[in-house]
Structure 1
Amino acid sequence: MALISQFGDWRSSGMTDKDKKAAIAGAAGTAAGAAGSVGTVAAAGTATGLGATGITSGLAAIGGVVGGGMATGLAITVAAPLVVGGAAYGLYRWLKKD
Protein backbone atom coordinates (compact mmCIF):
# COMPACT_ATOMS: atom_id res chain seq x y z
CA MET A 1 0.00 0.00 0.00
CA ALA A 2 2.96 2.31 0.52
CA LEU A 3 3.66 2.25 -3.22
CA ILE A 4 0.10 3.23 -4.06
CA SER A 5 0.07 6.05 -1.50
CA GLN A 6 3.14 7.63 -3.09
CA PHE A 7 0.93 8.71 -5.99
CA GLY A 8 -1.45 10.68 -3.80
CA ASP A 9 -3.70 10.07 -0.87
CA TRP A 10 -5.82 7.32 -2.37
CA ARG A 11 -7.78 6.86 0.84
CA SER A 12 -9.53 10.20 0.34
CA SER A 13 -9.50 10.21 -3.45
CA GLY A 14 -13.23 9.63 -3.83
CA MET A 15 -12.69 6.03 -4.90
CA THR A 16 -15.19 3.49 -3.71
CA ASP A 17 -14.04 0.70 -1.45
CA LYS A 18 -14.46 -1.74 -4.36
CA ASP A 19 -12.24 0.44 -6.59
CA LYS A 20 -9.56 0.64 -3.90
CA LYS A 21 -9.52 -3.13 -3.47
CA ALA A 22 -9.45 -3.62 -7.25
CA ALA A 23 -6.46 -1.27 -7.49
CA ILE A 24 -4.66 -3.24 -4.79
CA ALA A 25 -5.46 -6.49 -6.62
CA GLY A 26 -4.07 -4.99 -9.82
CA ALA A 27 -0.90 -3.86 -8.06
CA ALA A 28 -0.43 -7.30 -6.50
CA GLY A 29 -0.95 -8.94 -9.89
CA THR A 30 1.59 -6.62 -11.47
CA ALA A 31 4.15 -7.41 -8.75
CA ALA A 32 3.57 -11.14 -9.23
CA GLY A 33 3.93 -10.75 -12.99
CA ALA A 34 7.18 -8.82 -12.57
CA ALA A 35 8.61 -11.50 -10.30
CA GLY A 36 7.58 -14.16 -12.80
CA SER A 37 9.21 -12.24 -15.64
CA VAL A 38 12.51 -11.93 -13.79
CA GLY A 39 12.46 -15.62 -12.94
CA THR A 40 11.67 -16.57 -16.51
CA VAL A 41 14.50 -14.46 -17.91
CA ALA A 42 16.92 -15.94 -15.39
CA ALA A 43 15.95 -19.52 -16.22
CA ALA A 44 15.17 -19.40 -19.94
CA GLY A 45 18.55 -18.78 -21.50
CA THR A 46 21.49 -21.02 -22.21
CA ALA A 47 23.44 -19.25 -19.46
CA THR A 48 21.13 -19.19 -16.45
CA GLY A 49 21.23 -16.47 -13.85
CA LEU A 50 20.93 -12.70 -13.74
CA GLY A 51 24.38 -11.81 -15.02
CA ALA A 52 24.85 -10.12 -18.38
CA THR A 53 25.04 -13.39 -20.29
CA GLY A 54 22.07 -14.87 -18.44
CA ILE A 55 19.87 -11.85 -19.10
CA THR A 56 20.93 -11.61 -22.75
CA SER A 57 20.41 -15.28 -23.50
CA GLY A 58 17.16 -15.34 -21.49
CA LEU A 59 15.67 -12.43 -23.39
CA ALA A 60 16.81 -13.93 -26.70
CA ALA A 61 15.24 -17.28 -25.77
CA ILE A 62 11.94 -15.63 -24.82
CA GLY A 63 11.94 -13.60 -28.04
CA GLY A 64 12.84 -16.69 -30.04
CA VAL A 65 9.59 -18.34 -29.01
CA VAL A 66 7.72 -15.94 -31.30
CA GLY A 67 10.41 -15.75 -33.97
CA GLY A 68 12.15 -12.62 -32.71
CA GLY A 69 15.33 -11.88 -30.86
CA MET A 70 16.42 -10.17 -27.71
CA ALA A 71 14.42 -6.96 -28.38
CA THR A 72 11.25 -8.97 -28.87
CA GLY A 73 12.01 -10.87 -25.66
CA LEU A 74 12.40 -7.56 -23.85
CA ALA A 75 9.04 -6.35 -25.16
CA ILE A 76 7.33 -9.57 -24.07
CA THR A 77 9.00 -9.46 -20.66
CA VAL A 78 7.96 -5.84 -20.10
CA ALA A 79 4.38 -6.43 -21.26
CA ALA A 80 3.75 -9.58 -19.21
CA PRO A 81 3.41 -7.90 -15.77
CA LEU A 82 1.07 -5.29 -17.22
CA VAL A 83 -1.14 -8.00 -18.69
CA VAL A 84 -1.18 -9.96 -15.42
CA GLY A 85 -1.94 -6.81 -13.41
CA GLY A 86 -4.75 -5.81 -15.76
CA ALA A 87 -6.18 -9.30 -15.63
CA ALA A 88 -6.08 -9.30 -11.81
CA TYR A 89 -7.81 -5.92 -11.72
CA GLY A 90 -10.48 -6.99 -14.20
CA LEU A 91 -11.03 -10.34 -12.53
CA TYR A 92 -11.48 -8.72 -9.12
CA ARG A 93 -14.01 -6.22 -10.54
CA TRP A 94 -15.85 -9.00 -12.36
CA LEU A 95 -16.03 -11.29 -9.33
CA LYS A 96 -17.11 -8.49 -7.00
CA LYS A 97 -19.97 -7.14 -9.13
CA ASP A 98 -22.67 -5.36 -7.14
Structure 2
Amino acid sequence: MAMNKDEKAATAGLVSGGATIGGIGWAAAGLSAAEITGTLATLGAGYGMAAGIAAVAAIPLLVGGLGYGAYKLLAD
Protein backbone atom coordinates (compact mmCIF):
# COMPACT_ATOMS: atom_id res chain seq x y z
CA MET A 1 0.00 0.00 0.00
CA ALA A 2 1.40 3.36 -1.02
CA MET A 3 1.80 6.07 1.58
CA ASN A 4 0.15 9.43 0.99
CA LYS A 5 1.87 12.79 1.47
CA ASP A 6 0.74 13.18 5.10
CA GLU A 7 2.04 9.73 6.06
CA LYS A 8 5.37 10.42 4.36
CA ALA A 9 5.63 13.78 6.14
CA ALA A 10 4.89 12.09 9.47
CA THR A 11 7.60 9.53 8.75
CA ALA A 12 10.07 12.31 7.92
CA GLY A 13 9.25 14.02 11.21
CA LEU A 14 9.62 10.79 13.16
CA VAL A 15 12.95 9.92 11.55
CA SER A 16 14.42 13.42 12.01
CA GLY A 17 13.30 13.57 15.65
CA GLY A 18 14.63 10.07 16.30
CA ALA A 19 17.97 10.91 14.71
CA THR A 20 18.19 13.97 16.95
CA ILE A 21 17.61 11.81 20.04
CA GLY A 22 20.41 9.51 18.87
CA GLY A 23 22.71 12.47 18.34
CA ILE A 24 22.05 13.84 21.80
CA GLY A 25 22.73 10.42 23.31
CA TRP A 26 25.92 10.02 21.32
CA ALA A 27 27.14 13.47 22.39
CA ALA A 28 26.47 12.73 26.06
CA ALA A 29 27.88 9.19 26.05
CA GLY A 30 31.43 10.18 26.92
CA LEU A 31 30.59 12.77 29.56
CA SER A 32 30.92 12.35 33.30
CA ALA A 33 27.99 12.95 35.64
CA ALA A 34 29.44 16.33 36.62
CA GLU A 35 29.74 17.38 32.97
CA ILE A 36 26.16 16.31 32.21
CA THR A 37 24.86 18.16 35.28
CA GLY A 38 26.82 21.29 34.39
CA THR A 39 25.67 21.17 30.77
CA LEU A 40 22.01 20.76 31.73
CA ALA A 41 22.28 23.63 34.21
CA THR A 42 23.87 25.80 31.52
CA LEU A 43 21.14 24.92 29.04
CA GLY A 44 18.61 25.84 31.73
CA ALA A 45 19.73 29.46 31.26
CA GLY A 46 19.68 30.35 34.94
CA TYR A 47 16.54 28.37 35.78
CA GLY A 48 18.42 25.23 36.86
CA MET A 49 19.00 21.73 35.69
CA ALA A 50 15.29 20.88 35.39
CA ALA A 51 14.86 23.64 32.83
CA GLY A 52 17.89 22.26 30.97
CA ILE A 53 16.28 18.82 30.89
CA ALA A 54 13.11 20.39 29.48
CA ALA A 55 15.14 22.22 26.84
CA VAL A 56 16.94 19.04 25.80
CA ALA A 57 13.63 17.15 25.67
CA ALA A 58 12.08 19.85 23.47
CA ILE A 59 14.85 19.79 20.85
CA PRO A 60 13.82 16.47 19.18
CA LEU A 61 10.21 17.64 19.13
CA LEU A 62 11.24 20.86 17.40
CA VAL A 63 13.43 19.04 14.87
CA GLY A 64 10.69 16.49 14.21
CA GLY A 65 8.20 19.28 13.59
CA LEU A 66 10.62 20.99 11.25
CA GLY A 67 11.19 17.72 9.36
CA TYR A 68 7.43 17.21 9.04
CA GLY A 69 6.85 20.78 7.87
CA ALA A 70 9.75 20.77 5.44
CA TYR A 71 8.55 17.56 3.81
CA LYS A 72 4.98 18.87 3.49
CA LEU A 73 6.26 22.13 2.03
CA LEU A 74 8.77 20.69 -0.42
CA ALA A 75 7.10 17.45 -1.55
CA ASP A 76 4.94 17.56 -4.62
TM-score greater than 0.5 by the shorter chain = yes
Q: Distance in 1 between matches of 2:42 and 2:23?
A: 15
Number of equivalenced pairs: 75
Q: TM-score scaled by structure 2?
A: 0.78
User: Please, which runs of 5 or more residues in structure 1 have no aligned partner?
Assistant: 1-10
Aligned-pair CA distance for 1:24: 1.1
Q: Which has the larger radius of gyration?
A: 1
Instruction: State the 4+ residue runs in structure 1 displaced beyond 4 angstroms.
Output: none
Percent identity over the alignment? 44
Higher relative contact order (CA 8 A, sep 6+): 2
Q: TM-score scaled by structure 1?
A: 0.63
Matching of residue 91 in structure 1 with residue 49 in structure 2: no
Aligned-pair CA distance for 1:30: 0.5
Q: C-alpha offsets along residues 36-72 of structure 1, whole Å, 9 cap, x if unaligned?
A: 3332xx39xxxx61x4323212211221xx3322111
Matching of residue 62 in structure 1 with residue 49 in structure 2: no
1:28 corresponds, among 15, 18, 37, to: 15
SS across alignment from 2:46: coil
1:73 corresponds, among 52, 56, 59, to: 52
User: Please, which runs of 5 or more residues in structure 2 have no aligned partner?
Assistant: none
